[in-house]
Amino acid sequence: NRESIREKSIVIIGFMGVGKTTVGELVAKKLYRDFIDIDRVIENSFNIPIVDVFKLIGEKSFRQKEKEIIKEYCAQKLKVISLGGGAYLQEDIRKVTLENCIVIFLDITWESWKERLNIIIDSRPVLHGKTMEEIEELFYKRQGIYKSHHSKLETDNLNTIDIADFIVESLK
């Protein structure tokens, strides 16, 4: 029913650097909800940035940790939760978020995204050591996992404030 939908947590998905954290924070403010960024939760638990978490425990353990934390927060109501761009690789995460939350996919075209690469690369370990062609391939491969969502927003020509406004309006 309407009431339980209103209480559902909102989950934001999409490729690295699309603006999930900034948008999530803005949406949470507008809705007077708590904001949770899963990568920040992981960073805080180790007290080091994600790049170093990858070095310390490896991607496999990172994915395990990511799954546990997402499950914990998705069980809660009235949150706004931004996932890491690779979270949707895991079927378990897709399932738990789609069943319990409202999942919003922030989409962007490769042409717009590649302009951001320089700003985001240092803090994104999965991009390290890859050629532009390999990153483009990863980008298109990832589009497939984001197909599971409740609603999608094309963000190419929008700033983060507009994106947050759109999301809040779409929930009314």
Burial (CB count <10 Å: 0-12, 13-18, 19+), residue 169: exposed
> Residue 84, interface with ligand S3P (CB under 6 A)?
yes
User: Is residue 93 part of the contact set for ligand S3P (CB under 6 A)?
Assistant: no
Q: Judged by CB under 6 A, how many residues of this single chain contact ligand S3P?
A: 11
Within 10 Å of residue 124's Cβ, how many Cβ atoms? Answer: 18
Does residue number 81 form part of the binding site for ligand S3P (CB under 6 A)? no
20 sits near ligand S3P (criterion: CB under 6 A): yes
Copy the structure tokens of residue 89. Answer: 């690789």
Tokens (6 digits) for 112 = 């717009």
57, 78, 117, 126: residue in contact with ligand S3P (rule CB under 6 A): 126
Cα separation, 138 vs 157, in Å, equals 22
Among 46, 71, 125, 158, binds ligand S3P (CB under 6 A): 125
Judged by CB under 6 A, does residue 19 bind ligand S3P?
no
